[in-house]
Amino acid sequence: MFRQSTIDFLTDNAKRYGDLVHYGAGNRKIFQFNHPELIQELLVNDEPRNRRGIVMQRSRFILGDGLLTSEEPLHMRQRRMAAPAFHRQRIAAYGEVISQYSAEMIDRWQPGPLDLHPEMLLLALRIVGKCLFDTDAQAEVKKIAAAVDAFMGFLPLVFLPFSKQIEKLPFGPMEKIRKGGVDLDAIIYGMIAERRKSPGDRGDLLSMLLEATDVEENPEALQDSPAAQKPAAHMTDKQVRDECLTVMLAGHETTANGLSFALWMLAKHPEAQEEVHQEAVRVLGARAPVADDFPRLRYTYMAFAETMRLYPPVWVIGRSCGPEPYDFRGFTMPAGAIFIAPQIVVQRDPRFWPNPEKFDPRRFAEENRSSEGRPVRPKFAYYPFGAGSRQCIGEGLAWMEGVFVLATILRNWRVRPAPGLPEELPMSPLISLRPKHGVPLVLERR
């Protein structure tokens, strides 16, 4: 089911049947939401009625109960404890790491053909490793990459009959997933043990998770107790592991895919690529970008945003109805029903995006607003980072990473498609949207 044809299937559903589509897959009842107002109701208004989607539910056997997979009230508690690592001041400091690692990458490049998808995966993995765990993950990259590849192949298994039983069987795909989990556990638990021996804030997520406390877990402690005396709950090693693993996998895979698609689109549109280059030269000169440069690299931001519209790494959001059915605009949503809100459909809907297949970064220009200053389209016509309490906690870091990496690359290099490639880049819609056969481009030094 989850192949390129899946995107065509979801798109055709919206065109033929409208804004809310109901169909079945085996004994599962599925509702597809294709309009921004309905998506807002699903992801925000009705959030308390729903649970994580089936893929995230089944992913717990690898990810545990991290931010992607946990339910309330655990999820909100975890989010509070992890949030300081993604505050504006922290992200500003992460900008130096992004710039340094991007420069190191392009310094080893040579003119000629190069598949940029593995390059972006390695770069994003190093960045997330350093910013969030204060470690250079390059030494472990092969193990982590193999684990990610195995995990991405897990999605089709979720929809097979008896999928829970399949998880326990000793056959190829599941063995790879389990081996990846063992390798990742060894890496992460090793980091946790080392930090427990020498605690302290190194300015990364791991430090904060180990030091984080949550007095709200013990509400009885809040009564008649001075703040300094309130008992505080710390995360166990298992809880820290679940959060680290979630951030490591989700935080590098999605950003790397977004950057890969962005470089492809800019290679296909040399005039837009030239604008990014000229902006980077004007704003940065020969120096590395710093946090204060982010708002000044406006066109680069728009190019990345437009890529995320056309090729959203999180291409569909899933939810499932909780144990109680409820009414949704006259329809009864049965307990356990699957809900899907596909960005890949809504963000290409011509009702909200004129000439939607065209790559046009200026859609995201500030002047593209109504006379009252409001956006010209509904809020949920564009939601590449999700919505509600589940909105990606690392969104700010992802934007900075995308903009700084593109500016660094295209200031120094020109990219163009390798000869003989198809007009459209084949996509692989798994847990995230990946380029199916990589991103083979030709590099020319400027």
How far CA 45 is from CA of 16, 82, 180, 330, in Å, comes to 27, 24, 37, 16
Rounded to whole angstroms, the Cα distance separating 130 from 101 reads: 10
Q: What is the mean pLDDT of residues 66-77?
A: 76
Q: What is the mean pLDDT of residues 260-271?
A: 97
Residue stretches of the annotated binding site: 392
pLDDT digits (tens, 9 = 90+) for 17-67: 999 999 987 778 999 999 999 999 999 999 888 887 666 766 666 777 777
Assign 224 a pLDDT band (cuts: 50, 70, 90): very low
Of 405, 419, 322, 337, nearest to 100 by C-alpha is: 405
Please give the residue that has the higher pLDDT: either 208 or 357.
357
Least confident interval from 286-290, 319-323, 346-350? 319-323
pLDDT digits (tens, 9 = 90+) for 302-321: 999 999 999 999 999 999 99
Assign 225 a pLDDT band (cuts: 50, 70, 90): very low
How is the chain split into domains, by residue range? 4-445
Amino acid 444: pLDDT: 97
Amino acid 313: pLDDT: 94
What is the pLDDT of the chain when averaged over all its residues? 84
State pTM to two decimals. 0.87
Query: Is 2 a residue whose pLDDT tops 50?
Result: no
Rounded to whole angstroms, the Cα distance separating 60 from 37 reads: 30
Q: Specify which of 41-50, 193-202, 280-289 reaches the highest per-range mean pLDDT.
A: 280-289
Amino acid 154: pLDDT: 59
Please give the residue that has the higher pLDDT: either 303 or 330.
303
Query: Is 152 a residue whose pLDDT tops 70?
Result: no
Rounded to whole angstroms, the Cα distance separating 356 from 118 reads: 29
Pairing type for strands 326-328 and 331-333 reads antiparallel
Amino acid 217: pLDDT: 45
Residue stretches of the annotated binding site for heme: 392
Query: Is 445 a residue whose pLDDT tops 90?
Result: yes
Query: Is 150 a residue whose pLDDT tops 90?
Result: no
How far CA 104 is from CA of 109, 127, 310, in Å, comes to 9, 12, 29
Query: Is 201 a residue whose pLDDT tops 90?
Result: no
Percent of residues, the chain, with pLDDT higher than 90:
46
Does the domain at residues 4-445 carry the CATH identifier 3.40.50.720? no
| Longest CA pairwise span in the chain (Å) | 73
